[in-house]
Amino acid sequence: MNENTTQDRRNAWSQARSMAAQTPESRNRYVDFLRAWSICAVVFGHWLMAAPYISDGSIVISSMLEHQAWTRWLTWAFQVMPVFFLVGGYSNSVSWQSAQRRGQGYGSWLQARLQRLIGPVLPLVLLWAFLAAGAQYLGVHPTMVKVASQMALIPIWFLAVYIVVVLLVPVSYAAWQRYGFFSFAVLVALAIADDLAFFSGFKALGVLNYAFVWLAVHQLGYAWRDGYLAGGRQGSTWMLGGLVILVALVAFGPYPVSMVSVPGQEISNTLPPKVTLLALGIAQCGLLLSVEKPMRRWLAGLTPWTGVVLVNSMIMTVFLWHLTASTLTIGLALLIGDIGLDAIPGSAAWWMLRPAWIVVYLLALLPFALLFGRFERSAAPATEYPNWRLIPGAVLACAGLALLALDGVAGEGLLGLKDWVLLLPFLGAFLAGINPFRKASRGRGADER
């Protein structure tokens, strides 16, 4: 690691420590901790389960979940997207209430949220468009380009869903304020009904659970913010309830053990989401909230809180770019003689190489974090855009990101790309006034999560 990188790390820590020292006591630091922890768990889980190897002279892209069935139980710990939606509910409650107190309208609030969500992903999409076009020009088979971009762009499915959740915050929060847990129960019932329709042959309807499941977990974030999930007893009750339901669904229902998709498996708990993810989310949220009080005491210390502030300052960058870092690392290993790719997944040699691969992936991610982290700190425009631009812009960006996450960037359009699909996020950003290159803001206020 060169001297400049070391200096950058020192500067980043110093800046994070300065921000940490200015944090008001009223801020719930555990919310920020869970945001950082959940994303880091996703990153580690992806890197741990990635299982590329050489077979008969060709690269095989596989997952450890295919090779050793026992590893599927690990997904009960590493599938932590429900935690992020819980945190999202809490954070959106804080920011929406703050906006209302200041007399800020929906458009201004939404524009700021979209800037943070869409701005950081545009450089990623742009880079993969250039990489895909360049690779095909140099003779790389389009299938290889498609697979590589699919792998790298997996994280953006979350953004597509979360944009929809953010768009609906005024409605979902109003429902929470008026109906309380009944608003959660309605979404749970809709998720169950959607699963019943899916398993009855109406599989196309399964896509609705991208909304029902994640909106339900998001409602729990509102409940947390209002104090309904506080305390060890409350948390333990939710944890045990969610766990019992999850075990019953897997043991007696049509649901697989793995909480993430396993290639070749007919039924997936995530594509589209099933009620198993909702049960998992309830269990995870209960467990984590049962230890909130001791964790908040620990996070009152300057050093642990500085670490949380530092990670959160680039958390979206880490999440968006971690699979790009690992995908390009695997590509480099292929170019220099298949280094580290000879071990068969599941073998003792393969497991012994896991720590080394994860360290290499982490080192590969650092330059991306330092280079592209600035894009998640870009400021919202000074001019407030009308809702007739913001909402269609968000929908277009959401559609484009969802399609890219599903199928990558390679296609039959101009330069061998899915040209019109690639245009959607940028067109949506233009309509919503999103500019990732706008001068970075100085930081978030206490109410800006």
Q: What is the pTM of this model?
A: 0.89
Query: What pLDDT is recorded for position 8?
Result: 53
Contacts of 155 (CB under 8 A, 6+ apart): 42, 319, 320, 322, 323, 405
Query: What pLDDT is recorded for position 39?
Result: 92
Across the chain, which has 449 residues, the per-10-residue mean pLDDT values are 54 78 85 93 92 83 89 92 95 93 90 91 93 86 85 91 96 96 97 96 93 97 90 86 96 94 88 95 93 91 89 91 94 86 88 92 92 78 82 94 89 79 93 78 48
For the chain, give every domain's residue range. Answer: 26-432
Query: What pLDDT is recorded for position 273?
Result: 95
Query: What pLDDT is recorded for position 447?
Result: 46
Six token digits for residue 21: 């020292």
Measured from the Cβ of residue 234, the count of other Cβ atoms closer than 10 Å reads: 18
Contacts of 385 (CB under 8 A, 6+ apart): 107, 111, 431, 432, 433
**417: which DSSP letter?**
B
Give yes or no for a contact between 256 and 250, defined as CB atoms under 8 angstroms apart: yes
Query: What pLDDT is recorded for position 419?
Result: 83
Helices (H), 138-274: 142-152, 156-167, 169-179, 181-199, 209-225, 232-252
d(C-alpha 64, C-alpha 68), whole Å: 6
Query: What pLDDT is recorded for position 286?
Result: 93
